[in-house]
Chains A and B, each alone.
Chain A
Amino acid sequence: MDFLGVIQLLDSSLRLATPLLLACLAGLFSERAGIFDIGLEGKMLASAFFSAAVASYTGSVWIGLMAGIGASLVLAAIHGVASITFRGNQLISGVAINFLASGLTVVIGEAWFSLGGRTPQLEGAARFQEITLPFANAVRDVPYLGPIYADFLSGHSILVYVALALVPITWWVLFRTRFGLRLRAVGENPAAVDTAGVSVVGLRYAAVMICGVLTGIAGAYLATALSAGFVKEMSAGRGFIALAALIFAKWRPWYALGATLLFGLLEALGNRFQSLDLFGIPIPTQFMQALPYILTVVILAGFVGRAIPPRAGGEPYVKER
């Protein structure tokens, strides 16, 4: 494969990694605060639907984005109420949210548009368009760096840049601000936060809500940037992959970028080399399709050590039994 091919592969990886990255960072906030979230998938799906539905209804993708975030926030709030206020089981709550989103998106979609749960196709301002970075066309001919800038970095929807920017922002928030210190502390030892005079409940809600916002962006990216409308179940397991990436990344922002880019790259490779002959023997398509997952397991087993989750993760904060 030539250099341009590599660039295109990376380009594809970046697009595929973006929703994973957003969801992964979302999960990172939540889980760093001690709230496990297997409902990323459902929140993403709900946001995908509402962003597309509202964008199609209003004709504005920005209003759509807001609606998507709003929908994701509502589900996040349910997760918060269940797992923080009522100290329920976080896994059950997440499972419920996933079911709820797959059901409600279609039920509402059908009642709204009568298109079998789909939304109308989005056009023009109802979609996120690709952005060309400054001078992209001018520098394209510079060897190597030109294509990297013009074809790999440039030409994505704004949400891709938002997602990328969120990596250092997340790092900075977590490790350089008061809020981040408290957030991390509440995921490790909520009693320490509580006795330091900070509200455990407040912090955890904040984290869950940030998670809602980020998964909201992820969902909107799927429906209004990568595609042009909602199709039922269109999150297609990406929330779970994001969760895997989060564990892979050991709950760290920069690692999250690495992990999701790796997943993106593996998928892009799988797409690109779906039919491959090895020494004249054709490899089954299905093997190539499973390859990203196989490689994930191999990498995990071979190179990534034990991942230690936030210590108070998954457990509700109970002072009095």
Chain B
Amino acid sequence: MNDAMPKWADIVLIPLINLALALFVSGLVVALIGKNPFEALYILVNGSVGSAYGWGYTLFYATNFIFTGLSVAVAFHARLFNIGGEGQAALGGLGVALVALSIDWPHWALALPAAVIGGMIFGALWAAVPAYLQVRRGSHIVITTIMFNYIAAALMVYLLANVLKVPGSASPETARFIEGARLPNAADILPWVGFSRSTPLNVSFLVAVLACIGVYFLIWRTRLGYEIRAFGHSEPAALYAGISPVRITMLAMLISGGLSGLMAINAVMGEAERLVLDPVQGAGFVGIAVALMGRSHPLGVFIAALLFGALYQGGAELTFEMNGMTREMILVIQALVILFTGALDNMVRSPVERMFLSRRRQPEAPLPTTPLQPGGHPDDAKIEP
């Protein structure tokens, strides 16, 4: 029972302390390589959320992480560890690109739903094989999804270098999508906010928000979600209730793969406007961290994705603005954030919990004592009949 602490402490105070610790240690690393940590912190924060420009990038990265984070989260609810987000998102990119390139789209509003479907189907198909093998052959989904990441990478290189590339071009990338298959970006939609023309943030962010809401509904409101969670909590109980493990594993992985595939809406259709080699850029792996830190809840995923988006953008500013700051520094900061907010959570939680507990115990009145003589040995103390 987790009533040791008020809720606000659980969801606000503790994460903030953790984040502060992570930044503190990051500051030590920055200082260690001879840079000013305060300046770095300022650039990091200001660069990511200090301007419309920064937000444009922060939210763009966050969009990717929301999709991959949700993907991992949905699988987690069924107690499946899908580390195939990289490959599923790459295949999603293929699906999106095929949709975008296949028809002379008159308007993005038509192209987007089609691309959503294309991305989801391709991502889901790439997850389907590992899911099926898990269900039918007991092949461990962790291995198979790792393998499918590599296979996806090979497939993408083959297709882009040989099949989809613009003839005569040396670039392993598809042609740029036509106007009707390009998504409007933040500057198009919200010109008055001050987003720059080039901001990569685009309507896919809204799709991501919808996906969060959708996943929330799926998991906590639908019958399927009810069954997925039940299966994830206890397989014997699921069997007892007549929930088919085969069906749940397949469906959860298909949805998970579909969500990863959706990432391509943002990265391929929204930003690059063409399919390039490796459009995923590690977002599949970041999704694992995002899902774990967000406790597999869509809102948590959203917040964690935002945090990682801000770190990505702030980190870019850091390398841009601070001489001699390598881009790997940002990996270190990310790692520390994951470590402190995710894995070392109890380091802060336990003492805080104890603090709250001791404050709460004091006013409690003792239980009324029984009229019986407590304890001792019968020779010494007789009880009332």
Report if A and B touch in the complex (beta carbons < 8 A). Answer: yes
- Complex contacts, B34 vs chain A, CB 8 Å: 111
Residue of A nearest to B144 (CB): A297
Report the minimum CB–CB distance from A59 to chain B (whole Å).
25
Q: Which residue of A lies closest to B142 (CB)?
A: A247
Interface size on A, residues (CB 8 A): 52
Give, as a whole number of angstroms, the nearest-CB distance from B17 to chain A: 14
Is A244 in contact with B143, judged by CB distance below 8 angstroms?
yes
Q: How far is the CA of A297 from the CA of B141 in the complex (A)?
A: 10
A231 to chain B, nearest CB (A): 13
Contacts of A87 in B (CB 8 A): 346
Kindly state whether residue B355 has any CB partner on chain A within 8 Å. no
A157 interface residue per 8 A CB criterion: no
Known: A88-B346, A117-B326, A293-B150. A103 touches B335 (CB 8 A): yes
Instruction: Determine if B155 and A106 form an interchain contact, defined as CB atoms under 8 angstroms apart.
Output: no
* A92 and B334 contact, CB distance less than 8 A: no
- CB neighbours of B259 from chain A (8 A): none
* Given A91-B288, A103-B331, A106-B326: A297 and B293 interface contact (C-beta under 8 Å): no
- Given contacts A88-B346, A111-B33, A301-B137, whether A103 and B334 have CB atoms under 8 Å apart is yes
B52 to chain A, nearest CB (A): 29
Chain A residues positioned under 8 Å from B33 (CB to CB): 107-108, 111
Whether A95 contacts B139 by the Cβ 8 Å rule is: no
Q: How many residues does chain B have at the interface if contact means C-beta atoms less than 8 Å apart?
A: 49
Which listed residue (B144, B147, B292, B346) contacts A86, Cβ 8 A?
B346
Are A96 and B143 touching (Cβ within 8 A)?
A: no
In the assembled complex, which residues on chain A have CB atoms less than 8 Å from the CB atom of B155? 286, 290
A144 → B minimal CB distance (Å): 35
Please report the C-alpha to C-alpha distance between residue A228 and residue B151 in the assembled complex, in whole angstroms: 29
Give A50-79 interface residues, CB cut-off 8 Å to B: 78
Say whether B336 faces chain A, with CB atoms less than 8 Å apart. Answer: yes
The residues of B that contact A95 with a CB separation of less than 8 Å are: 285, 288-289, 292, 338, 342
Which of B25-42 touch A at CB < 8 Å?
A: 29, 33-34
Beyond A111-B34, A294-B151, A301-B137, whether A93 also contacts B339 by CB under 8 A is yes
Tell whether, in the assembled complex, residue A100 and residue B335 are in contact, meaning their CB atoms are under 8 Å apart. Answer: yes
Q: Is the interface of A mostly helix, strand, loop or mixed?
A: helix
A240 touches B133 (CB 8 A): no
Chain A residues closer than 8 Å to B198, beta-carbon distance: none
In the bound complex, residues from chain B placing their C-beta under 8 Å from that of A244 are: 142-143, 146-147
Complex Cα distance A71/B153, Å? 31
Given contacts A92-B343, A297-B143, 19 further A-B contacts (CB under 8 A): A86-B347, A88-B343, A90-B343, A92-B292, A92-B342, A95-B285, A95-B288, A99-B331, A103-B328, A105-B328, A108-B33, A110-B326, A232-B328, A287-B158, A297-B144, A297-B147, A297-B148, A297-B151, A300-B144
**Interface residue ranges, B against A (CB under 8 Å):** 29, 33-34, 81, 129, 133, 137-140, 142-144, 146-148, 150-151, 153-155, 157-158, 161-162, 285, 288-289, 292-293, 326, 328-336, 338-339, 342-347, 350
Q: Which 3 A-B pairs have the closest CB atoms?
A: A103-B331, A306-B138, A99-B335
